[in-house]
Structure 1
Amino acid sequence: MDSLFIDSLLEDLKNPSESVREHATQKLWRIWFQQKGIHGLEVIDRSQKLLDAGKVAEAELVLNELIQNQPDFAEAWNRRAFLYYTTGRYRESLIDCQKVIDLIPVHFGALHGMGLCYSALGEYQKAIQAFRRAVEIQPFSLINQKLILECMMRLG
């Protein structure tokens, strides 16, 4: 993908217009999900359907295989991080979120996920750092701003 186009989308995330920001957010997610073409997208979709059906172990196996076959597919790591988070496996989720950030440093979804994991573990300072990094990319993200405040309150 053209890095100038991605840079333009990242700038649009800082635009005062909500519609411009929303369009840029959707485009970035589409780029990330479609990084490996239709096959990668279909496998992620299959894993999500399994997860939605409560078949967590099967969904994890599907994602494990995708990651093994395409270790540079950031969204595969991100989807597994989400699976781990939703099943309370926060440390494992953090490892996968970090892998996403290593591959795509501006992946605001993985940064948000890291913040959620650290918060769930009671590591509020680290959670604040992750949410702040996400806000640097998406300054208008009200959820991350709210979570920063919640973590700060928990710190006292």
Structure 2
Amino acid sequence: MNQNLVDKLLLDLKNSEPNIRERATRQLWSIWFWQKGKIPLEQIEESERLLAEGNVAAATSILDDLVDALPDFAEAWNRRAVLKFMTQNYDRAIVDCERVLELNPVHFGALHGLGLCHAALGNYSAAIRAFRNALEIQPHAIENQRLILECTARLS
């Protein structure tokens, strides 16, 4: 991974110009998805296709195999966290999000997902922390701002 490019894109996420932020967001996702090359990316795409068709078991199997084969591939862990979230397996999704963040501490998607999982479990303080951490990386992400307010209201 080209760390200089990633650092530049992370700075662009803080830019006041929406087009610059959107481009940086797209490029970071691309870097993360392509981190291990074409074949692992195709496996992720296949798992997403299977999930969209409702074949959760097959999608899970692909992602389980991928994280076993490439344990340092953050996006494989992130995709599996998304799948676990979608199947309401929040505790296990949290474990996968935390693994993503060990591998890629600036993964704003995993931070957002971590917040969503904690919120779904009623752990609003933890959700707020995750959304705030995501905002440190992507300060213009209105959805995270909204979710912080929502979780804060639920604490009252």
The answer on 1:57 being equivalent to 2:60 is no
In structure 1, runs of 5+ residues without a counterpart are none
1:77: how far off? Answer: 0.3
Amino acid of the structure 2 residue aligned with 1:62: I
Which residue does 1:113 correspond to in 2?
Answer: 113
Which residue does 1:140 correspond to in 2?
Answer: 140
Amino acid of the structure 1 residue aligned with 2:93: S
1:53: how far off? Answer: 0.3
1:88: how far off? Answer: 0.4
List aligned pairs for 1:60-99, cutoff 5 A: 60-99=60-99
1:5 and 1:82 map into 2 onto residues whose CA distance is: 26
Which residue does 1:21 correspond to in 2?
Answer: 21
Amino acid of the structure 1 residue aligned with 2:148: I
The TM-score, its normalising length taken from structure 2, stands at: 0.99
Amino acid of the structure 1 residue aligned with 2:15: N
Which residue does 1:152 correspond to in 2?
Answer: 152
Structure 1 runs of 4+ off > 2 angstroms? none
2:153 and 2:64 map into 1 onto residues whose CA distance is: 37
The answer on 1:32 being equivalent to 2:43 is no
| Aligned pairs, number | 156
> Helix, strand or coil: the match of 1:22?
helix
Over the aligned positions, Cα root-mean-square deviation in angstroms equals 0.4
Amino acid of the structure 1 residue aligned with 2:102: D
